[in-house]
Amino acid sequence: MTISYELRRAYFQLYEIKESRQVIERNLELLNALERLALVKTETGKASAADVLRVQMQREELMQQLLILQSKESIPTAQINQLLHQESLKEIIINDSLSFVDLLYEKEFLFQQIFDNHPMLRQYELQKEIAEQSIALNEISGKPNFGAGLDYILVNDRKDAIPDRNGRDILQLKGTIKVPLYRQKYAAKEREERLKIEALTHQKENTYTSFQAMIEKAYAEHKTAQLQMNLYRRQTKLTRAALRILQTNYSASGNRFDELLRLEKDLIDYDLKTLRAIVKSHQAQNCIQRFVNFQ
């Protein structure tokens, strides 16, 4: 995995944690307002003191969630600082406000780009070519080797006698033939290289299939996140409308406080789930981006 991919992944995790804290803090303010309303209704005798206690219990639960989120911040913060070669405790400032992101590439286009150009798959092909060249060289080495040559011999004049052609240099033609005696060695080498080619072919197929699976997963998660976000936004809109009605009724009569508190809790849940769906869309895009910028 590339450093940029790891860096973005940790950043999105940190973004979700920080934004979740803000969602809870905003809803704590709403709970405080609801508690004040419950106190007023209790003092006028139109509500029970149990309403105030239920608000306080829910507020304590949210405060606990804030503490948990605060402790979780240290994990992506440390990862980001490590990747940037900074002090592990250095605070990471989040200034972004992310919205749902669409994927820009078709799966089939990505599959073809990966198959043709991914460095890991190309490396397998290069290793196969080397093995095939080794087989060709081995085949040549295992064949009989014929050679022809010409020797030139320098002859000095003899002084003690005068033979025919005295002092003439000699040219001598010669031929050689080399016959490999151990053919099994060359056959074993060929089998070894062909097994290597077969293994590299399987490795390439498995790696490509793994890449396809990662892309398929990213697209599926992105689609799920889109459906979830649309649902949670509709649910949030309906919940807010119901809350306004129940708050008005409770202000007037002090009734249905349990339902009012439940809807307030649902609203927090929908806000957090909407945020999670948005972050998932960016994480899916981050995964896809690895296979776009590998060159």
Task: Give the angle subtended at the CA of 127 by the CAs of 213 and 140, to the nearest 5°.
Answer: 145
Report pLDDT for 212.
93
Q: Where are the beta strands (DSSP E) in the chain?
A: 145-153, 170-178
- Check whether 144 has a pLDDT greater than 60: no
pTM of the model: 0.78
pLDDT confidence tier of residue 141, bands split at 50, 70 and 90: low
Residue 34 CB neighbours (<10 A): 23
The tally of CA atoms less than 13 A away on the side-chain side of residue 294 is 18
pLDDT, tens only, 216-250 = 999 999 999 999 999 999 999 999 999 889 888 88
Residue 26: strand, helix, or coil: helix
Average pLDDT, the chain: 85
Helix (H) or strand (E) holding 91: none
- Check whether 33 has a pLDDT greater than 80: yes
Spatial contact of 7 and 85, defined as CB atoms under 8 Å apart: no
Report pLDDT for 149.
64
Pick the more confident residue, 52 or 139: 52
- Check whether 78 has a pLDDT greater than 80: yes
3-125+191-290 CATH: 1.20.1600.10
User: For 177-189, what is the mean pLDDT?
Assistant: 66
